[in-house]
Amino acid sequence: MTKDDIETYHQFGEAEETAEARPLTAHERIYQALRERLLFGGFLPGKAVTLRGLADHLEVSPMPVRDAVRRLTAEGALESHGNRRVSIPAMTNKKYREINLTRSLLEPELAVMALPNVQEADIQRLIEIDDAIDVCLENGDVEGYMRGNHAFHFALYEIARSDVIIRLVESVWMQFGPFMRLVYGRHGTANLVDQHKQAIEALKAKDSLALRTAISEDVRQGMFFIGDYI
């Protein structure tokens, strides 16, 4: 799997079930495009952007952008200002602790919930994503690593078939994603330790404890870098 494959997976894989049931509306496409920017560094903390600027960038009218921004504001991923500008909410110590706690509690649980459902094809897909991540790490490709890391985690979490917990985790990822781009831009990818291989081995062995440990350590590493930033 190449970096382009990872990006394609991110754009279309998460919405596969929905897309089979109904095509995405224009408003939903704009929402997904802004989520993409939040997750992978299109919004930088501390820098406000205008709704008109977002609409021009996406080549759409301002109305669907306003609707998408309202949704993302309600989810805590953006904050709106009175001059038709939006920005990333500040990462306070309190917010950091809550995000860290939420991830530490929910993500290992989702991984273990996936264990009874995992098939050989699922494991192979995770291996392919992780192989592409290795290439990004070797090349210092920060955005490629972020896309691959997201693709890996949510390919695993979707196997849990959760209707509630995965949505909470998705919301949390949008809140810390912009800060990861700053962190990796500062520190690079050389110091990252890939815990995904341990997770894959745990899936193969049906070892819930090892799987929980691998995902917990992966979360701990990522949040440690953000904690160092704030």
pLDDT (tens digit, 9 = 90+) per residue, 20-58?
A: 446 778 889 999 999 999 999 888 888 899 999 999 989
User: In this predicted model, what pLDDT tens digit does every residue of 144-186 receive, in sequence order?
Assistant: 999 999 999 999 999 999 999 999 999 999 999 889 888 877 7
Q: Are residues 33 and 57 in the same domain?
A: yes
Q: What is the pLDDT of residue 230?
A: 67
Share of the chain above pLDDT 70, in %: 87
Q: What is the per-residue pLDDT for 8?
A: 44
Residue 199 lies in a domain: yes
Give the pLDDT of residue 105: 97
By residue range, what is the domain housing residue 188? 93-229
Number of domains in the chain: 2
Instruction: Report yes or no on 9 lying in a domain.
Output: no
Report pTM: 0.85
Q: Are residues 74 and 105 in the same domain?
A: no
State residue 227's pLDDT score.
82
8 domain-assigned: no
Q: Which two tokens stand for residue 215?
A: 């995902």
- pLDDT interval class at 15 (50, 70, 90): very low
Strands laid side by side in the 79-81 sheet: 49-50, 85-87, 79-81
